[in-house]
Structure 1
């Protein structure tokens, strides 16, 4: 297993193992996630983010810019309408939090030495938010037509099933895990120092704050996608040949008609085994496995290099 370590200017090792462990806990994993699984998930997220930065750097060079902005990263997400919708709603929540903080304590938001997009890159005349870019890329207004976030709904249903028989102490710990993220605060620039040291330790790339905010969202969604896929794999493992309803046995489902397969989990948190390294590797194998042709035997582009694929995008 390959482990990715990032050392900042002070010589300290930057990692998000604690945050990822809490996120996996919040998404439905055991309260004590497998340490080897956490390291593997961290390496997956880091590799995905660095690959995204490479693709975004190419886009910024084509625009004639030396700075990676949020436009370059959101442009890579343009084909995933549902993720654009989730990023759109995420921006609305962040704006609401920032507005609330400004009203309550306006002096705390005055931070020195913070450069915005238009200050770093003179070619950008206006500081565009994520919502502005999404509206620009959404030519057919598909994002605004999505009225129901099924991913968020299924994750909330899973969380509700987990907390059915929780004590107050366990629920408090679970709530803190649900609040974990890749940003350490909601102030300007406060939550992006660590992730920039993690993905760009040599400062070779110039990344704006808004771009780092999108990367935090992508990293969070990557962890969530891996955990969601593990529960689907566990459901597939429960199936018995000749019995199409075998995977619904044992009270693992709320309502198989309305809730789909993503809420496969037992009621009560103690019954959830920790996610293993083998399960995460099976998720990667299924995701990156080349698609087969009509005859199910050969792949027409097998001799060609496979394109770069991102779990979240």
Structure 2
């Protein structure tokens, strides 16, 4: 399968195949994911992000701005309250990590990005940029996000990770932990952490993106990979169904049953027994996502509106 990587102005190829391979492993795929599947997932994520940028640029123009900020990206997510809640919690965690990182540097009085002055240092009268939480609160007039107290998506993923690692040796656990830490943010530096991501999705610099916008796109890309892997496990669970036995699909297998923690995630011990996700399974996931009327009462319907011009897996 051909990888539709992007080429920046320097002629270098930019791709996230290594990062996506680690992410898929961290979400429960085989330690050695199928290379063709990784390429397909990469192409899907890139296409989703580029479509999102085009739609966000349209809203930016309507607002009289030539720059895409975090407001436009979060505005596209406004209907999925659970993902807004996850983004809200994501920023809280990242703020704590960044704060601890600044305390641990040798000279905390100097900016983290050498040679670059922050906007607040140039002119103290400049209005502070809105954080993701500020934008979410502005869009969530009914406080629906604030009323969500339980993140079921995070819970199910942690249950799966717990089942995978319960019989894992230290060396394998260390490799699995590194895979779980993979993301589209390639550096801990606030200003340089999204350089590769911007070069990947905006190689010609046609669109102007702020760092907060890139941070939200990083979150969306990560969730896209996670949703695809989660959906593959649902397909494998559905494939175990036997006609005449409505409970047959809950007999263990390659899934995590949310109704019972006693069911094993995999047939064999640990995670080595799970077969690698195939291209056919990912294509089946895409078919179900983009054809929601196939089984309106099924797990993939997700209240999608067929009149929408585009659909995004992560939101």
Give the match for residue 31 of structure 1: 31
Question: Does the alignment pair 1:100 with 2:100?
Answer: yes
- Write the distance in 2 (CA, Å) between the matches of 1:144 and 1:80: 13
Question: Does the alignment pair 1:112 with 2:110?
Answer: no
1:127-276 paired onto structure 2 within 5 Å: 127-250=129-252, 257-258=259-260, 264-266=265-267, 267-276=269-278
Q: Which deviates the most, 266-275 or 8-17?
A: 266-275
Question: Does the alignment pair 1:281 with 2:308?
Answer: no
- Write the distance in 2 (CA, Å) between the matches of 1:145 and 1:22: 33
Greater fraction of residues in helix: 1
- Write the distance in 2 (CA, Å) between the matches of 1:280 and 1:214: 24
- Write the distance in 1 (CA, Å) between the matches of 2:255 and 2:60: 46
- Number of matched pairs: 300
For the 8 Å contact 1:111–1:188, the answer to whether it is kept is no
Q: Tell me the TM-score normalised to structure 1 length.
A: 0.89
Give the match for residue 301 of structure 2: none
1:291-310 paired onto structure 2 within 5 Å: 291=293, 307-310=309-312
Give the match for residue 88 of structure 2: 88
Give the match for residue 302 of structure 2: none
- Write the distance in 1 (CA, Å) between the matches of 2:70 and 2:121: 12
Flag structure 1 segments of 5+ consecutive residues without an equivalent: 295-303
- Write the distance in 2 (CA, Å) between the matches of 1:217 and 1:259: 28
- Write the distance in 1 (CA, Å) between the matches of 2:255 and 2:232: 16
For the 8 Å contact 1:154–1:259, the answer to whether it is kept is no
Q: 1:212 to 1:251 in 2, by over 3 A?
A: closer
- Write the distance in 1 (CA, Å) between the matches of 2:206 and 2:62: 18
For the 8 Å contact 2:288–2:294, the answer to whether it is kept is no
Q: 1:255 to 1:37 in 2, by over 3 A?
A: closer
- Write the distance in 2 (CA, Å) between the matches of 1:143 and 1:180: 27
CA offsets 1:38-71 (integer angstroms, 9 cap, x no match): 0000000000000000010001000000000000
Q: Tell me the TM-score normalised to structure 2 length.
A: 0.88
Q: 1:213 to 1:117 in 2, by over 3 A?
A: farther
